[in-house]
Structure 1
Amino acid sequence: MRTKSETRRQAILQAAAEVFRETGFERSSMSDIRERVGYSKPTLYSYFASKEELFSAVVFEATELEFQATLQALDPDQSDITLALQSFGQRLLALLYSPQVQAVRRMVASQARPSELGRTCYEMGPVRSEAAIAAFLQQAMDRGQLRQANARIAALQLKGLLEAEWIEPFLFNALEASSPQQIHETVARAVAVFMAAYGPTLSQHSNSG
């Protein structure tokens, strides 16, 4: 059962999500959100100290469950590293190019200068995913499923390959809606290139056999 405090917090988040969606981050204000939710200014600011903090909370609320499910696809018990990376890649692309996350990325990119909002969103998403991918790849390297390399660099390159076919159309507002089949094919190509670069050496194959 929700407490009164949690009910108020959720009401603020819902109102803020509506305002951000309708008018965009830059043109929205805390006053707009206060009017939408119907709470006093002191009440609103007792929950969220700034528009940036509130926006970050809205994004977290909307995407965290799917974000965690995406990271869980990095299954260390999966014996086939290619299948593990494909499963993860499909979930990652579906998340990154979902309407909610596309809107956040556009909103952050549209700001004229570096901001606390950009830093917060970067830490909430890319930094956490990079760390999880690097940890997974390091385990795979230690088991001989991948050749030894800098796991952090490998993680960044894997993410880059997964988005390589989509990122420029997205940046230029030319990306069309994608189907699960398109995601599947895109990820298969990206993982094939990654495995060509990081797949185990012949000696690793022999040692693991």
Structure 2
Amino acid sequence: MRKKTEERRQAILDAAERVFQQVGFERASMAQICSEVGFSKATLYSYFNSKDELFFDVMMAAASAEFEATKSLLDHSSDDARAVLLAYGRQYLTVLYSPRVQAIRRLMATEGNRGDLGRRCFEFGPEKGQNIVAGYLKTLMDKGVLREARPLLLSQQLHSLLEAEWIEQFMFGVLGELSASQFAAATGDAVDTFLRAWRPA
């Protein structure tokens, strides 16, 4: 029974994601989502109390598993910080610039100013991720691999460097498909720049 419940919930999330991407949050209705998934309104509301709640869960479900797997690459026990950051950076960019996550980010940029929706998504997604990376960077500071600084600031700088080559193209909707070799090259440049800036003299 639990499996069937989870399958229904996922089916609703998948249908809602399609509808939100097709017409946007404002124009989307619970009735459209019901039609897309083939469930009654009663069934839909038994899983999600409102369109805002459904939208939030769509945002989080879209990439949470992939990002959690990415964060698991931050091996605090490894003595090779560059190798750890390279592995993390490549996977981070692979997830971030996948077609699905790009679509979700664009949708979030458009709809995030609705009430506290943007704040909730930021706290659950980017802010949580930045803090996890900050924890790893603090470990590197404690080992003497990096100079002492605010760990969260360094995390923000690292993520900015990783995206630096493509963020403006992404924002203006002119970014083409990216390859694994491009992710690897951009990660290498970003990590080396970051380490040159923050390793002890």
Query: Cα offset for 1:4?
Result: 4.1
Which of structures 1 and 2 has the bigger CA Rg?
1
Q: Is the 8 A contact 1:169 1:175 kept in 2?
A: yes
* Residue ranges of structure 2 left out of the alignment (5+ in a row): none
SS of the residue 1:43 aligns to: helix
- Separation in 2, partners of 1:86, 1:3: 37
Correspondences of 1:130-141 after superposition (within 5 Å): 130-141=130-141
Correspondences of 1:66-105 after superposition (within 5 Å): 66-105=66-105
What does residue 173 of structure 2 align with?
173
**Length, aligned pairs only:** 201
Query: Cα offset for 1:3?
Result: 4.1
Spell out, residue by residue over 1:126-159, the C-alpha distance to the aligned partner (whole angstroms, 9 max, x if none).
1111110100000110011111111111111111
Runs of 4+ in 1 over 6 A off after TM superposition: none
What does residue 118 of structure 2 align with?
118
SS of the residue 1:76 aligns to: coil
Query: Cα offset for 1:32?
Result: 0.6
- Separation in 2, partners of 1:71, 1:3: 27
Structure 1 residues 112 and 124: CA distance shift in structure 2, 3 A = closer
Q: TM-score w.r.t. structure 2 length?
A: 0.91
* Residue ranges of structure 1 left out of the alignment (5+ in a row): 202-209
Correspondences of 1:152-167 after superposition (within 5 Å): 152-167=152-167
- Separation in 2, partners of 1:144, 1:5: 49
Q: Is the 8 A contact 2:130 2:155 kept in 1?
A: yes
Percent of aligned pairs with the same amino acid: 46
What does residue 39 of structure 1 align with?
39
Query: How well do the aligned residues superpose, as a CA RMSD in angstroms?
Result: 1.8
